[in-house]
């Protein structure tokens, strides 16, 4: 593939941060609000923000069903935080009646880390990176249950001590990538580069 075009769903959320990260990696970017724009993308980023607002706006802009079809049809897609919620086939603690786009065979719990720890940071090990990734979590979801084709990439311990349970916060399923945290707010481009490898594979 020559230089790929990667769209960022631009209905709400931290669109600019993703566009900048992708441009630093030398790909063509496109802010996606309409079905025609989606059709020009070789890959798609669903940004962090507020999943309830994004799914409503997707419906208002008439792009929701096209997004569903594109993602389940194999468009490489990277969802971060609210974007991970949008990718989930099954959602817990959604707003009443909240829908997702789906594609990722997983149950995602929204705002999972609770009020006390609305935001936190942690260093996470990934199998494909030598050094840990510094992860910023903001009212983040976690993955509660994942299907057989979902590969767990990273988990975080919740609470203190050796017995603290660990929660899944990054996964890959084929050409779908999802993180509970926001790699776009950091200078570290490794996860975006990893996603581009999935786009061009
Ligand atoms: N930082 C985020 O993207 C937060 C996600 C938000 N809690 C939601 O439900 O969509």
CA–CA dist 14, 48 (Å, integer): 6
pLDDT, one tens digit per residue, over 24-63 is 999 999 999 999 999 999 999 999 999 999 999 999 999 9
Which pLDDT belongs to residue 68? 98
- pLDDT of 161 > 80? The answer is no
- pLDDT of 10 > 60? The answer is yes
Which pLDDT belongs to residue 117? 66
Query: Ligand 1 test: best mutation among 11, 18, 45, 51, most atoms within 8 Å of CB?
Result: 51
Residue 92: exposure state from Cβ atoms within 10 A (0-12, 13-18, ≥19): middle
* Closest by Cα among 84, 8, 87 to 40: 8
pLDDT, one tens digit per residue, over 87-133 is 999 999 999 999 999 999 999 999 999 765 689 999 999 999 999 99
Instruction: Supply the residues annotated as catalytic.
Output: 81, 182, 184
Nearest ligand 1 atom, CA 80: 3
Pure H helices in the chain: 15-24, 35-39, 51-60, 64-72, 82-87, 190-200
- pLDDT of 69 > 60? The answer is yes
Which pLDDT belongs to residue 2? 81
CA–CA dist 48, 182 (Å, integer): 7
- pLDDT of 173 > 60? The answer is yes
- Classify domain 5-200 by CATH number: 3.40.50.880
139 a known binding residue? yes
Cα–ligand 1 centroid distance for 79 (angstroms): 11
Mean pLDDT of the chain: 95
* Closest by Cα among 200, 195, 194, 186 to 20: 186
Angle subtended at Cα 176 by Cα 172 and Cα 180, rounded to the nearest 5 degrees: 65
Query: Ligand 1 test: best mutation among 54, 81, 99, 182, most atoms within 8 Å of CB?
Result: 81
What pTM, to 2 d.p., does this model score?
A: 0.96
What DSSP string runs through 170-185? Answer: EEEETTEEEESS-GGG
CA–CA dist 77, 174 (Å, integer): 10
Percent of the chain at pLDDT exceeding 70 = 98
Ligand 1: residues whose CB is within 6 Å?
A: 48-51, 81-82, 85, 110-111, 138-139
Contact (Cβ atoms closer than 8 angstroms) between residue 143 and residue 85: no
Average pLDDT over residues 128-151: 97
Banded pLDDT at 159 (limits 50, 70, 90): confident
49 a known binding residue? yes
């Amino acid at each position: 593939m020559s230089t790929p075009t990667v769209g960022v769903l631009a209905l709400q959320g931290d669109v600019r941060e993703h566009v900048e990260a992708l441009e630093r990696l030398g790909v063509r970017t496109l802010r996606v609000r309409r079905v025609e724009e989606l059709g020009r993308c070789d890959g798609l980023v669903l940004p962090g923000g507020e999943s309830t607002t994004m799914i409503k706006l997707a419906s208002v802009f008439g792009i929701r069903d096209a997004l569903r079809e594109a993602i389940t049809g194999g468009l490489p897609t990277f969802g971060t935080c609210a974007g991970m919620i949008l990718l989930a086939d099954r959602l817990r603690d959604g707003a009443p009646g909240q829908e997702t786009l789906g594609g990722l065979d997983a149950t995602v719990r929204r705002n999972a880390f609770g009020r006390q720890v609305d935001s936190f940071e942690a260093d996470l090990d990934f199998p494909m990176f030598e050094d840990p990734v510094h992860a910023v979590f903001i009212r983040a979801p976690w993955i509660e249950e994942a299907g057989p084709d979902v590969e767990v990439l990273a988990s975080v311990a919740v609470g203190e001590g050796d017995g603290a349970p660990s929660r899944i916060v990054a996964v890959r399923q084929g050409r779908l990538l999802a993180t509970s945290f926001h790699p776009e707010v950091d200078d570290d481009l490794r996860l975006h580069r990893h996603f581009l490898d999935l786009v061009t594979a």
